[in-house]
C-alpha cells in the first residue's frame, strides 16, 4: 500500500493524459482533452481529462477521479495493484510495499482493535448506548459475539493510547484506525457502534462504524493494505456457501440489513456498504453466483449510484433483478415486522432491473404529457447507453416505446443517437439530474481554484450546506494550501469511502460555467446559498417562538421577540437592497449574463 507521500510522488511523475491516451483517443478541447468514455457506450464524446488538475470525468456515466481511479477501473485493479504498476512506471520506490510479515502485523493490529471494540460493547458502562441500539434492532448478546460487533468509545485518542506503544502510530495509521491531522493523529472511529469487516478467510480487515447522531451516519475504514472497499462485500465470508447453493446473491446496502437477513435464515445476503457498486465488487460476486437480486430500499434503488451499479453487474455477465419494497420499508424493517418469509417473497418476486428502472421513471414523470415524455426519454437515454447487451438495449427501447405510446423503432433510434444530458452548469440540470443551485456554483469556484476557502469561511462553515454536499465542503475546509486542491479533495473523499461524492467533486472541476464578474458572482451565490437561508431559518424560529409566547400571555417575551423579528426583517431587506444594487450596477443577474454558461460538455 502506498503511503501518501508515495501517491504524491507518483502523481508528480505520471502524466494522466499519457496514461488515458493508451485506452482512449483524446482530442484537444479548451484547456483539457476530450474523448469517448471507455466505461459506457458514448456516441457523443463526454469524457474529459485535465492534465493540469490531474483529474478525469465522464458526464455521461458520472465516473471520474485521478490516475489511480482510472487505472483501477480500466484494468480492474485494486488500489495497491494500481499504485505498484504506476510506481514501477514512474520509477518511484514504494516505501510501504510490504512482505507477508508486514501484512500479518497489520492483521494483528485490526484483530486487536476488533477485540477492543467488542470488550467496550460488552463490559463498559459507556457501551450501554450501543447495546441499547443493537437490542432495539433485534440483535441480542449472542449475535454481538457471532458477528464480532463492538463499540468505539468517545474521545479522540482511546485507540491511540491503547495500542500506540504496542503497535506504533504508523501501523495504526496504515490499518485505518487513526487519521492524520494538522496537529497529529487521532482515532478515526469515535462514539460509534462497530461492525468488523472480514476477508474471505474470516479475518477482520476493516470496520464500519454507525454514529448515533451526526454525519456521516456510517463511516468505513479508509483504503489500507488489507482493505479496499471497492473490492469487498460485507458478510461475504458468511454468505459464500449459501450463495453458491442458491445460485444468486441478495445484495443489500448496510450492515444491519445483512445481519437481520442472516438471523432470519437468508444466508446468501451480502452488503455493498453503500449504493455505488463498483466493478471490483461485481467481479467478486461473479466468482460465486450468476444472478444478483438488489434489495435496497426504494429510494436508494432508484438513485443514480444504484442504477450505475446495476449496469456494472449486468455488463459483467450477471443477471440482475430488483426486489420492490413499500416507500417506508427496507430489508431490515420488513423482516423485523413480518418475518423472514416476507423477504423471501420479495426476492422471489423481484423484477428485472430495467423493468424496475422504467417503473421508477413513470413514478417521477407523467408519460401522458409531452413534458413527461421528454423527461423519460432524456433519462432513459443515459440508462440505455450504459447497457452493453444489444438484446437488452432492444428490450429497453421496446419498453420505453410501449410506455410512451411511441413507435419502438423511432424510440430505439432516439435512445441511440440523441445527445446525453447537459453537463453540470450547462443549464438548469445539476449533478445527477438535480437542479443546479448556488451551492453548485460555489463548489465549482472552489474546486477550480477560482476562490479560496477562506473567502467562504468568512461567512459560512461546512455545516451550513446541504448534507449531500457537506463532505465536499468539509474536505475543502481541511485542505492544505495547494496548487491542485481539486485532486487533493477527490483523493481525501475516496480515502473516506465517499466514492459518489468524489465523483461529484471531480465533475465540478469540469463544469462549463463562466462568471463575467467573479467577485460579484461569489457574493450573489453566498447570498443565495448561505445568508438568505440563514436569515429565513432565524425568522421562522422567531415566528414560532412569538406564537408560543403570545399563546402563553408572556408579554415581555412577545415584546422582545417582536423587536428581534423587526430587526431580522430589516436585515433581510438590507440584503435584498445590496443584491439589487449589484444587479443594477451590472444590468442583470449573474445567471442571466450572456456567455456565463457555455456549451454542453458532452
Residue 506's nearest CA partner among 9, 47, 85, 10 is 47
Determine contact, residues 436/427, Cβ cutoff 8 Å.
yes
Task: Specify the pLDDT at position 596.
Answer: 34
Which residues have C-beta within 8 Å of that of residue 199, sequence separation ≥ 6? 205, 226, 232, 237
Q: Please indicate whether residue 460 or residue 347 has the higher confidence score (pLDDT).
A: 347
Task: Say which CATH class 424-602 falls into.
Answer: mainly alpha
User: Domain 100-224 belongs to what topology?
Assistant: DNA primase DNAg catalytic core, N-terminal domain (3.90.980)
Domain 4-90 sits in CATH at 3.90.580.10
Cis peptide before 216 (omega within 30 of 0): yes
Task: Specify the pLDDT at position 432.
Answer: 38
Task: Specify the pLDDT at position 96.
Answer: 52
**Percent of residues, the chain, with pLDDT higher than 90:** 36
Distance CA 4, CA 495 (A): 11
β-pair partners for 219:
209
Torsion of CA 274, 280, 285, 288, to 10 degrees: -150
Confidence band of 3 (pLDDT split at 50, 70, 90): low
Distance CA 127, CA 121 (A): 5
Asked if the model's pLDDT at residue 587 lies above 60, the reply is: no
Determine contact, residues 163/208, Cβ cutoff 8 Å.
no
**271 sits in which H/E element:** strand 269-271
Phi/psi at 210 (nearest 5 deg)? -100, 125
**Three-class secondary structure of residue 178 per DSSP:** strand
* 221 secondary structure, DSSP code: P
* 528 secondary structure, DSSP code: I
Q: Which tens digit of pLDDT belongs to each residue from 218-234?
A: 899 988 889 988 889 99
β-pair partners for 256:
none
Distance CA 81, CA 84 (A): 5
Q: Which tens digit of pLDDT belongs to each residue from 289-311?
A: 999 999 999 888 888 778 888 98
Asked if the model's pLDDT at residue 584 lies above 70, the reply is: no
Distance CA 395, CA 408 (A): 10
**Percent of residues, the chain, with pLDDT higher than 70:** 91
Cell numbers for 413, please give them: 433510434
Task: Specify the pLDDT at position 430.
Answer: 39
Q: Which stretches does DSSP call E strand in 133-229? A: 150-152, 178-181, 184-187, 192-198, 204-211, 218-220
Residue 254's nearest CA partner among 330, 202, 140, 360 is 330
First-residue to last-residue Cα distance in the chain: 36
What size, in residues, is the chain? 602
**DSSP per residue over 60-77, as a string?**
TT--EE-HHHHHHHHHT-
Phi/psi at 206 (nearest 5 deg)? -165, -175
Distance CA 260, CA 255 (A): 9
The string over 508-543, giving b where at least 16 C-beta atoms fall within 10 Å of a residue's C-beta and e elsewhere, is: bbbbbbebeeeebbbbbbbbbbbbbeebeebbeebe
Mean pLDDT, to the nearest integer, of 568-584?
73
Cell numbers for 23, please give them: 485506452
Which residues have C-beta within 8 Å of that of residue 261, sequence separation ≥ 6? 250, 252, 267, 269, 331, 335, 340, 343
Determine contact, residues 542/561, Cβ cutoff 8 Å.
yes
Q: Please indicate whether residue 352 or residue 461 has the higher confidence score (pLDDT).
A: 352
**Three-class secondary structure of residue 250 per DSSP:** strand
Distance CA 475, CA 139 (A): 35
Distance CA 556, CA 549 (A): 9
Q: Which tens digit of pLDDT belongs to each residue from 510-556?
A: 877 777 788 888 888 888 888 888 888 888 888 888 889 888 888 88
* 516 secondary structure, DSSP code: S
Task: Specify the pairing of strand 184-187 against strand 178-181.
Answer: antiparallel
Task: Specify the pLDDT at position 333.
Answer: 93
> Mean pLDDT of all residues in the chain?
84
Distance CA 45, CA 335 (A): 45
Alpha carbon 151 to its chain centroid, in Å, reads 25
Task: Specify the pLDDT at position 435.
Answer: 55
Determine contact, residues 17/28, Cβ cutoff 8 Å.
no
Asked if the model's pLDDT at residue 323 lies above 50, the reply is: yes
C-alpha atoms less than 13 angstroms from C-alpha of 565 in its C-beta half-sphere:
14
C-alpha atoms less than 13 angstroms from C-alpha of 274 in its C-beta half-sphere:
23
Cell numbers for 144, please give them: 454481538
Mean pLDDT, to the nearest integer, of 146-152?
96
Q: Which tens digit of pLDDT belongs to each residue from 174-225?
A: 999 999 887 889 999 999 999 999 998 899 999 999 999 877 888 999 888 8
Per the listing, cell 493490529 goes with: 109
Mean pLDDT, to the nearest integer, of 365-374?
90
Q: What are the distances in angstroms from CA 138 to CA 66, 143, 296, 522?
A: 42, 9, 20, 50
Confidence band of 444 (pLDDT split at 50, 70, 90): confident
Task: Specify the pairing of strand 248-252 against strand 291-294.
Answer: parallel
* 3-state percent breakdown (helix, strand, coil) of the chain, nearest 5: 55, 10, 35
Distance CA 464, CA 472 (A): 12
100-224 has the same fold as 4-90? no
Query: Left (φ > 0), alpha (ψ -120 to 50) or beta: where does 321 sit?
Result: beta
β-pair partners for 293:
250, 321
Domain 231-358 sits in CATH at 3.40.1360.10
Cell numbers for 418, please give them: 440523441
Q: Please indicate whether residue 106 or residue 514 has the higher confidence score (pLDDT).
A: 106
Which residues have C-beta within 8 Å of that of residue 173, sequence separation ≥ 6? 179, 180, 185
Cell numbers for 511, please give them: 463544469
- Indicate the pTM of the whole model: 0.60
Which residue ranges make up each domain of the chain?
4-90, 100-224, 231-358, 369-417, 424-602
Distance CA 358, CA 302 (A): 10
Asked if the model's pLDDT at residue 166 lies above 70, the reply is: yes
Amino acid at each position: 500500500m502506498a503511503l501518501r507521500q508515495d501517491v504524491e510522488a507518483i502523481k508528480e511523475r505520471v502524466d494522466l493524459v499519457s496514461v488515458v491516451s493508451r485506452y482512449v483517443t483524446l482530442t484537444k478541447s479548451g484547456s483539457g482533452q476530450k474523448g469517448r468514455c471507455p466505461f459506457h457506450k458514448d456516441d457523443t464524446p463526454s469524457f474529459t481529462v485535465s492534465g493540469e488538475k490531474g483529474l478525469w470525468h465522464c458526464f455521461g456515466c458520472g465516473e471520474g477521479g485521478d490516475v489511480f481511479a482510472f487505472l483501477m477501473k480500466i484494468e480492474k485493479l485494486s488500489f495497491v495493484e494500481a499504485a505498484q504498476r504506476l510506481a514501477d512506471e514512474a520509477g518511484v520506490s514504494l516505501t510501504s510495499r510490504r512482505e507477508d510479515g508486514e501484512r500479518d502485523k497489520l492483521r494483528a493490529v485490526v484483530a486487536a482493535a476488533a477485540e477492543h471494540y467488542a470488550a467496550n460493547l460488552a463490559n463498559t458502562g459507556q457501551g450501554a448506548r450501543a447495546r441499547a441500539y443493537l437490542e432495539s434492532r433485534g440483535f441480542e448478546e449472542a449475535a454481538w459475539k457471532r458477528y464480532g460487533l463492538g463499540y468505539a468509545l468517545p474521545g479522540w485518542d482511546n485507540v491511540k493510547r491503547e495500542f500506540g506503544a504496542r503497535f506504533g502510530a504508523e501501523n495504526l495509521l496504515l490499518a485505518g484506525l487513526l487519521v492524520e491531522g494538522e496537529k497529529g493523529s487521532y482515532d478515526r472511529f469515535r462514539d460509534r457502534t462497530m461492525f468488523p469487516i472480514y476477508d474471505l478467510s474470516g479475518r477482520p480487515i476493516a470496520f464500519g462504524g454507525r454514529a448515533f447522531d451526526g454525519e456521516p451516519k456510517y463511516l468505513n475504514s479508509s483504503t489500507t493494505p488489507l482493505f479496499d472497499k471497492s473490492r469487498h462485500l460485507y458478510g461475504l465470508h458468511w454468505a459464500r456457501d449459501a450463495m453458491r447453493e442458491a445460485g444468486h446473491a441478495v445484495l443489500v446496502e448496510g450492515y444491519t440489513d445483512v445481519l437481520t437477513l442472516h438471523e432470519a435464515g437468508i444466508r446468501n445476503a451480502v452488503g455493498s456498504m453503500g449504493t455505488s457498486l463498483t466493478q471490483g465488487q461485481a467481479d467478486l460476486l461473479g466468482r460465486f453466483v450468476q444472478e444478483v437480486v438488489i434489495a435496497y430500499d426504494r429510494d436508494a434503488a432508484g438513485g443514480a449510484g444504484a442504477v450505475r451499479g446495476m449496469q456494472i453487474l449486468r455488463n459483467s455477465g450477471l443477471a440482475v433483478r430488483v426486489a420492490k419494497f413499500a416507500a417506508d420499508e427496507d430489508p431490515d424493517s420488513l423482516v423485523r415486522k413480518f418475518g423472514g418469509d416476507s423477504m423471501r417473497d420479495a426476492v422471489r418476486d423481484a423484477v428485472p432491473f430495467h423493468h424496475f428502472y422504467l417503473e421508477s421513471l413513470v413514478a417521477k414523470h407523467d408519460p401522458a404529457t409531452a413534458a413527461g415524455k421528454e423527461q423519460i426519454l432524456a433519462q432513459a437515454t443515459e440508462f440505455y447507453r450504459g447497457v452493453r447487451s444489444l438484446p437488452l438495449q432492444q428490450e429497453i427501447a421496446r419498453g420505453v416505446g410501449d410506455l410512451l405510446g411511441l413507435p419502438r423503432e423511432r424510440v430505439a433510434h432516439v435512445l441511440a443517437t440523441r445527445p446525453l444530458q447537459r453537463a453540470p452548469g450547462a443549464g438548469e440540470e445539476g449533478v445527477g439530474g438535480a437542479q443546479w443551485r448556488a451551492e453548485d456554483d460555489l463548489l465549482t469556484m472552489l474546486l477550480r481554484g477560482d476562490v479560496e476557502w477562506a473567502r467562504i469561511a468568512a461567512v459560512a462553515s461546512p455545516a451550513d450546506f446541504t448534507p449531500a454536499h457537506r463532505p465536499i465542503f468539509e474536505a475543502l475546509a481541511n485542505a492544505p494550501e495547494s496548487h491542485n486542491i481539486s485532486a487533493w479533495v477527490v483523493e481525501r473523499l475516496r480515502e473516506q469511502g465517499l466514492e459518489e461524492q468524489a465523483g461529484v467533486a471531480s465533475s465540478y472541476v469540469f463544469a462549463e460555467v463562466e462568471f463575467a464578474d467573479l467577485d460579484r458572482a461569489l457574493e450573489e451565490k453566498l447570498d443565495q446559498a448561505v445568508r438568505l437561508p440563514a436569515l429565513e431559518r432565524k425568522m421562522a424560529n422567531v415566528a414560532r417562538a412569538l406564537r408560543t409566547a403570545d399563546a402563553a400571555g408572556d408579554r415581555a417575551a412577545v415584546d422582545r421577540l417582536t423587536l428581534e423579528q423587526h430587526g431580522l426583517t430589516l436585515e433581510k431587506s438590507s440584503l435584498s437592497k445590496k443584491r439589487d444594487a449589484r444587479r443594477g450596477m451590472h444590468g442583470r443577474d449573474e445567471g442571466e449574463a450572456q456567455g456565463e454558461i457555455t456549451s454542453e460538455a458532452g
